[in-house]
Amino acid sequence: MSDPDHSRRRTGKITVTDVRAVLESIATVYPRRRERRVDAHAPRYVQEGGPTSLVALVLVRLGFGLRVLRALEHEHPTGDILHTGVDIAESQHPALRCFERPALALLGYVQIRQEAGQAWGRVIARALRPGRLRTVRTRRRKPWLFEPDGSWAPKDHPLLGGS
């Protein structure tokens, strides 16, 4: 029996390319939209029956249903039994296992900046901009900008907007 909440999602891993494509499409529609975390302890994913944050909207467009978003809202962060709601990068939800690690890291980076109140277009542009220095720090903070073997993705690489 298949889970109806996962039925729209394709099989296989969700890659950085998949997440980037969704982020770019959202940035063109909602470049100035801002969301701020209301509760200092709990990211919100669903409000009034729909996705309420940038990450929630990305998840819906990738085929995740509201059941997964609600589960993220009710999941407890590691070591915290008082508060519910977990950041995407910290979640242990089984549905997120289909993400490649760099793709999930990209969503985590976006979520932190979006919840700080930055405009979605700016958040997405900063996440996808390689920066000036190709350093170990950049590799650690933005692993989605690098090849799987850890080498720097060249400017014409598809992940960086090349052909």
Q: What is the pLDDT of residues 40-57, one digit of tens each?
A: 556 788 888 889 899 999
pTM to 2 decimal places: 0.79
Phi, psi of 152 (to 5 degrees): -65, 135
pLDDT of residue 32: 93
Residue pair 17/28 in contact by the 8 Å Cβ criterion: no
Q: How far is CA 111 from the centre of its chain?
A: 6
Q: How far is CA 55 from the centre of its chain?
A: 5
Question: Side chain identity at 74, as an amino acid letter?
Answer: H
Q: How far is CA 16 from the centre of its chain?
A: 10
pLDDT of residue 148: 62
Residue pair 61/116 in contact by the 8 Å Cβ criterion: no
pLDDT in tens, 135-156: 666 767 788 887 665 555 544 4
Phi, psi of 37 (to 5 degrees): -60, 120
- Say if residue 2's pLDDT is above 70: no
Cβ-based burial of 105 (10 A; exposed 0-12, middle 13-18, buried ≥19): buried
